[in-house]
Amino acid sequence: MAAPFDAAAFWATADQYLMKTGMPFLDTVIRSAKGSILYDVNGKELIDFTSGQMSSLLGHSHPEIVEVVNSSIGQLDHIMSLMICEPVVQFAETLGKVLPAPLQKSFLLSTGSESVEAAIKISKCATGKFEIVAFANSYHGVTSGAASATYAIGRSRGGPVMPGQISFPSPNAFRSVFRKQGENGATDSVSTYDWETEMAWGWDMVDTQSVGSLAAFVVEPILSAGGIFEPPPGYMLKLAEECKKRGMLLIADEAQTGLGRTGDLFAFQRDGIVPDILALSKTIGCGLPVASVSTTPEIEKLAAAGGYLWVTTHYNDPLLAAVGSKVIEIVVRDDLSAWAKARGEQLLEGMRKLQEKYWVIGDIRGRGLLLGMEIITDKVLKTPGVDLSIALSMAAMEMGLSCQVVAHPGACGVFRLAPPINITIAETEQGLDILERAFAKVFSEEPYKSLL
């Protein structure tokens, strides 16, 4: 029988030896996880509505993933980067067969930051240009090029960024100042959002700042860490057209949206576009550090001619390849894109019922199982309710639901709900029930009792 957990000793050891890197630790200490459920050191169960760090696409310890890891690591775990092996070629083939044409050529990496970094470098080598455009609420990673294209968080005291970085207004129907008369007199933020004028203004700013060396626009099809901002229908198609006019490549960073989470295998498919370069991570590893970059044969040739070089320690690792192949197989075989769409609709219905009871839920947005719920404390001014959202999140955690609040200034206190895409109907309903009880608890006590 395991000894009782000594919380004081654990946190004292953590404080002594574990370096803090700017993100606060939660009080909850997790000991194990299975499927959509986390188990803390005291045996308490929590429904995981964040898929770990948005990565456990198929839940935790999926039996087929466990089997692949066990068998692969006992046969071929890691080899020199200049060698290729059967699992790596199989992964490239498996991914290539589900990618829309002309995307076809891929290679394997370990992290999201690395995949975006590699994609940006491809765009620079292929075009011979260096300017990179990204959304003002973007999050693409922490390595030099990816961090330079990140505006949502982490720029403070980071030193000089890469030359040629240009920000673009993020699509935000709830808060954008660009408005038009709603159809049939509608006044809601979605129907009155004038994204066409906002985009035209954004491109004017890009063209004004550019020195004539626009290489690429790197986008998240749904901006996640920035606050769950989903471009409206037609937006991404227009964006792709404007990139093409300027001779720019379009890089889709689908770290969190890839492989079924949004209801499509890839989020960009809803908009009828195909990016020039696709960066995958998080979801493709199902909790393990797997990432990939894909592009067209034509761009591959242009990049090679431009001197493209990418060699890292775990480039094209066989173990990672085996895991990635199995994740793709499961998602496609079990039609989990459709399941994620259905569970997303179930979540949305529950969240909207909650919104009818609590006006502090100012906006609900997202797609599939990547949803956001923005908390406000003033109906007219839409004042961000960051402290309130954190209080609600902590109450939910106490009741058995792990859900993250994106609380940095640009995100305005947004609940980010992204459970595993194979979560059950019952678990989804249970999560919604806990969320409702968390709201009831917080609003029955000070300082928020009088807010409603």
14/157 same-domain check: no
Beta bridge partners of 401: 47
Structure confidence at residue 239 as a pLDDT band (50, 70, 90) = very high
Identify the CA nearest to 144 among candidates 169, 170, 164, 167.
164
Number of domains into which the chain is organized: 2
CA distance 59 to 360: 31
Q: For the residues 357-383, what does the mean pLDDT come to?
A: 93
Residue 277's CATH number: 3.40.640.10
Q: What is the pLDDT of residues 286-298, one digit of tens each?
A: 999 999 999 999 9
Q: What is the pLDDT of residues 20-70, one digit of tens each?
A: 988 888 889 999 999 999 999 999 999 999 999 999 999 999 999 999 999
Beta bridge partners of 416: 372, 404
362/432 same-domain check: yes
Average pLDDT, the chain: 93
284/140 same-domain check: yes
149/298 same-domain check: yes
Phi and psi at residue 42, to the nearest 5°: -100, 5
Asked if the structure places residue 262 within a domain, the reply is yes
Asked if the structure places residue 70 within a domain, the reply is no
Asked if the structure places residue 1 within a domain, the reply is no
**Domain end call among 278, 304, 333:** 333
Structure confidence at residue 185 as a pLDDT band (50, 70, 90) = low
**Per-residue confidence (pLDDT) for residue 154, from 0 to 100:** 77
135/271 same-domain check: yes
377/252 same-domain check: no
**Per-residue confidence (pLDDT) for residue 150, from 0 to 100:** 83
pTM: 0.94
**Per-residue confidence (pLDDT) for residue 184, from 0 to 100:** 59
**Domain end call among 299, 333, 367:** 333
398/317 same-domain check: no
In this predicted structure, the answer to whether residue 186 has a pLDDT above a threshold of 60 is no
The separation between CA 448 and the C-alpha centre of its own chain, rounded to angstroms, equals 31
| Token code pair at residue 321 | 């390849």
Asked if the structure places residue 66 within a domain, the reply is no
141/119 same-domain check: yes
322/343 same-domain check: no
**Per-residue confidence (pLDDT) for residue 26, from 0 to 100:** 87
**Per-residue confidence (pLDDT) for residue 96, from 0 to 100:** 97
290/357 same-domain check: no
Q: What is the pLDDT of residues 136-150, one digit of tens each?
A: 989 888 888 888 888
Asked if the structure places residue 451 within a domain, the reply is no
**Per-residue confidence (pLDDT) for residue 343, from 0 to 100:** 97
- The more confident residue out of 217 and 408 is 217
Residue 11's CATH number: 3.90.1150.10
Q: For the residues 297-326, what does the mean pLDDT come to?
A: 95
**Per-residue confidence (pLDDT) for residue 190, from 0 to 100:** 75
**Per-residue confidence (pLDDT) for residue 44, from 0 to 100:** 94
Lowest-pLDDT choice from 110-124, 187-201, 205-219, 420-434: 187-201
350/260 same-domain check: no
Q: For the residues 300-313, what does the mean pLDDT come to?
A: 95
b/e string for 394-416 if b means 16 or more Cβ within 10 A?
Answer: ebbbeebbbbbbbbbebbbbbbb
189/327 same-domain check: yes
**Domain end call among 302, 333, 364:** 333
Asked if the structure places residue 364 within a domain, the reply is yes
Q: What is the pLDDT of residues 72-101, one digit of tens each?
A: 999 998 999 889 999 999 999 999 999 999
Structure confidence at residue 254 as a pLDDT band (50, 70, 90) = very high
**Per-residue confidence (pLDDT) for residue 21, from 0 to 100:** 86
Task: Write out the residue range of the structural domain in which residue 302 sits.
Answer: 76-333
**Per-residue confidence (pLDDT) for residue 410, from 0 to 100:** 59
Asked if the structure places residue 450 within a domain, the reply is no
